Chains A and B, each alone.
Chain A
Amino acid sequence: MEKKIRVLVAKPGLDGHDRGAKIVARALRDAGMEVIYTGLHQTAEMIVETAVQEDVDVIGLSLLSGAHMTLFRDVTKLLKEKGMGDVLVVGGGIIPEEDIPALKKAGVAGCFGPGTPCEEIVEFIKKNVKR
């Protein structure tokens, strides 16, 4: 077996800021992971369908528009419906501290705001990936 961690990095909703997502994508690649980047303006349906086809172990959602409570939860809900509840979901971008407990409850395992060292994200994924 030559397993590699496969990660989908996605930008849900109407948000054109993908610099952070691209930096994280590169860091994950440099940590030996296979990173699929889908580009901007993805709906929850597109993200989950991509996750199914690419058979990813992890989804990283990046959002700076403030719509994370809706869109992140849409993704985790749809994942469960598709029987992909074992995919590790993490979030990044501008996520207020007080929203994090509710996101965790909805299945977003970790949130990483601006200034997070990339190594921290890599370590979190390696430690928590379930598949």
Chain B
Amino acid sequence: MSDLASKVLKGDSRSVARLITLAENNSNELAGEMGIIHKHSGKAYVIGVTGVMGSGKSTLIFELARAYRRQGKKVGIIAIDPTSPFSGGALLGDRIRMTDLTVDDGVFIRSMGTRGMLGGLASAVFDTVEILDASGKDVIIIETVGVGQAEVDVVKIADTTLVVLVPGLGDSIQTIKAGIMEIADVFVVNKADRPGVEQLIAELESLIEISCIGKDRKIPVVKTTAKDNKGITELVDEIEKHRDYLKKTKVFETQRRKRYEAELIEIIRKRLMNFIFDESTFKEKVESMIDQISKKELDPYSAADEILGKILK
């Protein structure tokens, strides 16, 4: 067995971190290691936390992680922030709110830039979930980038998805109505010490009422003030209830299968793009095609078919 993977299975932080880096860099050594890791993953429960910018996701995750630590569970946290599309750099600041967890050896936090991936996730997040899982974490919490309307991909990987809202952001439900309202397994109304909280909950509940017609589960709303550690126990309970529901209805297995589907598609996408844009032979061809398309000598569909035709040969 590879040295790195075997150390990951023993829970060695340094090796876990190294392997995540290999995943982020899409390294050539990754495939062999992940072959081993995959056999040992699948036990951890994955919670996705998404919501608008400034809704207090990081602070909420900090308190959730502490609650799970009190239960004796080991926690992995993946905190995603946007990569600048211009410089390729990223400022990853989610740890600021989790600083007290740093020296707890039952917690592993990794900050991640999106590195060009849309949907609110980072491309390496699938691998990272498997790595943390195989390293012995019981609960893995993923914090997506602050969302607008389309960043809903976390639902493909999480067992339970929390959508965090806050009062006082104007008509906040309106601004995030499509997509993100549909992915919540539990709604969290955070910063509940602020005015407007009852109105927000009332709006949410009437919305849930409509959207849950004919379904066997009503989406709960939990009120939290994460900075004062309020409502966290209730939130942990609701996550637990959702987990029981998933297991009872066998939706759990269907969801996990969807995760592996999304993971497989992501790996194929990455490998294909690397093949087309990194291999020296293709890169030149692609560049000259882009020139031709600009000059109207070629249309983009014919160009795409030609490239794919060459690969399939």
A80 CB, min distance to chain B CBs, angstroms: 13
Verify if B1 is at the interface (C-beta below 8 Å from A).
no
B195 CB, min distance to chain A CBs, angstroms: 28
Q: Is the CB of A46 within 8 A of B103?
A: yes
Q: Report B-chain residues with C-beta under 8 Å of the C-beta of A55.
A: 17-18, 20-21
Chain A interface SS verdict (over half): mixed
Q: Report B-chain residues with C-beta under 8 Å of the C-beta of A54.
A: 17, 110-111
Interface size class of A (residues with CB under 8 A): 20 to 34
A82 to B12, CA, bound (A): 12
Selected interface stretch from A21-29, A67-75, A92-100: A21-29
B68 CB, min distance to chain A CBs, angstroms: 17
Q: Is the CB of A50 within 8 A of B95?
A: yes
Verify if A30 is at the interface (C-beta below 8 Å from B).
yes
Verify if B93 is at the interface (C-beta below 8 Å from A).
yes
Q: Is the CB of A53 within 8 A of B110?
A: yes
A86-107: CB near B (< 8 Å → 1, else 0) gives 0000000000000000000000
Q: Report A-chain residues with C-beta under 8 Å of the C-beta of B87.
A: 29-32
Q: Report B-chain residues with C-beta under 8 Å of the C-beta of A50.
A: 95, 102, 109
A39 to B20, CA, bound (A): 23
- Contacting B at CB under 8 A, from A43-75, are 43, 45-46, 49-50, 52-55
B123 CB, min distance to chain A CBs, angstroms: 10
A40 CB, min distance to chain B CBs, angstroms: 9
Do A35 and B92 contact each other (CB < 8 Å), given the known contacts A3-B25, A30-B87, A46-B103?
A: yes
Number of A-B contacts (CB under 8 A): 92
Q: Is the CB of A4 within 8 A of B88?
A: yes
Verify if B254 is at the interface (C-beta below 8 Å from A).
no
- Contacting A at CB under 8 A, from B1-27, are 13-14, 16-18, 20-21, 24-27
Q: Report B-chain residues with C-beta under 8 Å of the C-beta of A83.
A: 14
Verify if A15 is at the interface (C-beta below 8 Å from B).
no
A99 to B286, CA, bound (A): 54
Q: Report A-chain residues with C-beta under 8 Å of the C-beta of B25.
A: 1-4
Verify if A33 is at the interface (C-beta below 8 Å from B).
yes
A64 CB, min distance to chain B CBs, angstroms: 19
- CB contact between A32 and one of B18, B21, B89, B110 (< 8 Å): that residue: B89
Do A29 and B90 contact each other (CB < 8 Å), given the known contacts A34-B113, A39-B95?
A: yes
Name A residues whose Cβ lies closer than 8 Å to a Cβ of B. 1-4, 6, 25-26, 28-39, 42-43, 45-46, 49-50, 52-55, 82-84
The 5 closest A-B pairs by CB, nearest first: A29-B89, A39-B96, A55-B17, A32-B88, A55-B21
19 CB contacts below 8 A, A to B, read A2-B24, A4-B24, A28-B89, A29-B84, A29-B90, A32-B88, A34-B92, A35-B90, A35-B91, A38-B95, A39-B93, A49-B102, A50-B95, A50-B109, A52-B17, A53-B16, A53-B102, A55-B21, A82-B14
